[in-house]
Amino acid sequence: EKYRNEMKHLYEEISRLLIELDQETMARIKIENEKQTLEEQIPFLSAIHEQEMNELRNLSSPNIGIDPTTFYKNELQRAIREIRNDFENLSRSQRLELEEYYKIKT
């Protein structure tokens, strides 16, 4: 009886270990499949990345016909002109207000 109980216990342990082995095997297969999928994605994503980088290089390339120095020089001149006009308008407005104030006080 003692040996039968021992054998029964050992068979149960073997059965449990076989189930655990099957689970681990399935987990390994799943991980290997995921690994293979990721390895297959690498060249595809690298090609997309390279294409996007080339497009960005082409966009930022100075070959587009605009000289940045001239562009920014013109922008700076335009900004100075706008500031000058704003200042002249403000000065004119303040002068008119002071004249009105002076007329009211005298």
Q: Which amino acid type is present at position 66? A: I
Report the distance separating Cα 104 and Cα 96, nearest Å. 12
Report the distance separating Cα 26 and Cα 40, nearest Å. 21
Q: Identify the weakest region by mean pLDDT among 16-25, 86-95, 97-106.
A: 97-106
Contact 39, 33 (CB under 8 A): no
- What is the pTM for the complete model shown? 0.45
Report the distance separating Cα 64 and Cα 88, nearest Å. 38
DSSP character at residue 65: S
Residue 64 confidence (pLDDT): 56
